[in-house]
């Protein structure tokens, strides 16, 4: 198992700074704890992504996304989603609203019925975020 100098500083007695461990003249910072140069995620983007992942972090919402995705034309009427989930219409409507607000589903009103479909590319975008290097 490999522990780098930065990780080991907290475990060593008698060392007062990282320069005690580095080769070369005192004060030479070497490569310990060097920033990667990658830009950190903005707070705004992190909040948006967290809301989207939170919306998907519910089993009923995951099932809704799966059911809509598998439906003919990749869309479904709210009236067709209540029975398979075993939930009442108000509960299903709440879950759908959360997914719409998170930008995962879109809603289209047709007469008295509401039809839901996936926002094009929304799930691919979230999958891409998970695949990004840290």
Q: What confidence tens digit (pLDDT) does each residue in 102-123 have?
A: 999 999 999 998 999 999 988 8
- Sequence spans of domains, the chain: 43-131
pLDDT at 96 over 90: yes
Give 67-74's long-range contacts (Cβ < 8 A, gap of 24+): 68/105, 68/116, 68/117, 68/118, 69/118, 73/117, 74/117, 74/118
Domain 43-131: give its CATH code: 1.10.10.10
Structure confidence at residue 122 (pLDDT): 87
The backbone torsions φ and ψ at residue 110, rounded to the nearest 5 degrees and listed phi first, read -130, 100
From CA 22, how far away is CA 29, in angstroms rounded?
7
Tell me, yes or no, if the pTM score tops 0.95: no
Structure confidence at residue 109 (pLDDT): 94
């Amino acid at each position: 198992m490999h522990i780098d100098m930065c990780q080991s500083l907290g475990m060593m007695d008698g060392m007062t700074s990282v320069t005690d461990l580095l080769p070369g003249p005192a004060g030479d910072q070497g490569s310990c704890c060097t920033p990667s140069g990658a830009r950190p995620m903005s707070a705004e983007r992190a909040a948006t992504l967290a809301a989207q992942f939170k919306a998907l972090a519910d089993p009923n919402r995951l099932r809704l996304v799966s059911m809509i995705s598998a439906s003919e034309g990749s869309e479904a009427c709210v009236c067709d989603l209540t029975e398979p989930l075993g939930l009442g219409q108000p509960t299903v409507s709440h879950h759908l609203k959360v997914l719409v607000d998170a930008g995962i589903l879109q809603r289209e009103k047709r007469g008295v019925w509401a039809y839901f479909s996936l926002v094009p590319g929304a799930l691919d975008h979230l999958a891409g975020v998970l695949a990004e290097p840290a």
